[in-house]
Amino acid sequence: MEQDQETEFVDFGYEKIPASEKNGRVESVFRSISARYDIMNDLMSFGLHRVFKRMVIEMSATRTGDSVLDLAGGTGDLAALFAPVVGDSGQVVLADINAPMMVVGRDQLLNKGVTGVEFCQANAEFLPFGDASFHCISMGFGLRNVTHKEIALQEMYRVLKPGSCLLVLEFSKPENKLVEAGYSGFQALWPAFGKLITGDSKPYSYLVESIKVHPGQRALKQMIEDAGFETVQFHNLLNGIVSIHRATKAQN
């Protein structure tokens, strides 16, 4: 049978799949590991992901009374850090496409005594918020899973207030060949770790592949600029294994 010429195919790790299937496939990956997601994050990063997330908070310049949207907020690490900064007069909305991840996040926030975070199940490409709703948008290790990144970035631009900032914390590309080789060797162990800790290696095979096909820091900088953002900068961490991109929406 001749393939439908209208079908759009996108990356799912190294696999090419119809764009219409990606959200479901990503949801399935994270549903299967949601209960032990944070344990694996600590193992794979030696706990450094928590340091990186604190850096995001510092770079956001968020203040008391601000409204923050944490996209792909998952188990709530960034939301937990933003909540005391914005205080009772502010607002933190944790949005994620994956309901099981948000259930884990809600439980963990309650265990930490964080009660002011709002939860919203939402696709980053179709944000259910009005124009200019937030003083800050953060996205930690989630952009590479979005089907159409350029549309999601446009939506982020739309719901940000003028003069406000976007912060994207994401895996990137090491800038030193020796670091890249060593990191690739370490990544090769992740599926085995995942099998041991969560009972399933496939999500961590996908994780490694999704990192490798994700745009590098300079390409992502260009994508953010193409969405309309200004003063786009990236800050390499661990020689570019991870990067934080910071951008602002122009003042009216």
Summarised one tens digit per residue, pLDDT across range 166-222 is 999 999 999 999 999 999 999 999 999 888 888 888 989 999 999 999 999 999 999
pLDDT given at position 120:
96
Burial class (CB in 10 A: 0-12, 13-18, 19+), 108: middle
Render pLDDT for 66-91 as a digit per residue (tens, 0 to 9). Answer: 999 999 998 899 999 999 999 999 99
Q: What is the spatial distance between Cα 73 and Cα 101, in angstroms, rounded to a whole number?
A: 9
CA distance 23 to 91: 27
In 3D space, the residue among 192, 219, 213, 217 whose CA is nearest the CA of residue 203 turns out to be 192
Residues 20-29, mean pLDDT to the nearest whole number: 88
239: DSSP letter = G
The reported pLDDT for the residue numbered 5 is: 56
The residue type found at 153 is: L
Phi and psi based region of residue 72 (left: phi greater than 0; alpha: psi -120 to 50; beta: remaining): left
Residue 2 has pLDDT above 70, yes or no: no
Pick from 156, 119, 106, 113: nearest CA to 136: 156
Q: Determine the distance from the C-alpha atom of residue 126 to the mean position of all C-alpha atoms in its chain, rounded to a whole number.
A: 16
pLDDT digit string (tens) for 4-20? 557 899 998 899 999 99
When pLDDT is averaged across residues 211-239 and rounded to a whole number, the result is: 97
- Identify the pLDDT of residue 3: 47
Q: What percent of the residues of the chain are helix, what percent strand, and what percent coil, each to the nearest 5?
A: 50, 25, 30
**Residue closest to 135 by CA, chosen among 252, 249, 52, 246:** 249
Tell whether the model's pLDDT for residue 144 goes beyond 60. yes
Average pLDDT of the segment spanning 220-245:
98
**pLDDT 10s digits, 128-140:** 999 999 999 999 9
What is the amino acid identity at position 122?
Answer: A
Domains annotated for the chain, with CATH where assigned, are: 9-248 (3.40.50.150)
Whether the pLDDT of residue 225 is over 60: the answer is yes
Q: Are 95 and 134 in contact (CB under 8 A)?
A: no
Q: Map tokens 């937990």 to a residue.
A: 80
Tell me which amino acid residue 17 is.
I
CA dihedral 33, 37, 40, 41 (to 10 degrees): 140
pLDDT above 50 (res 1): no
pTM for the whole thing? 0.93
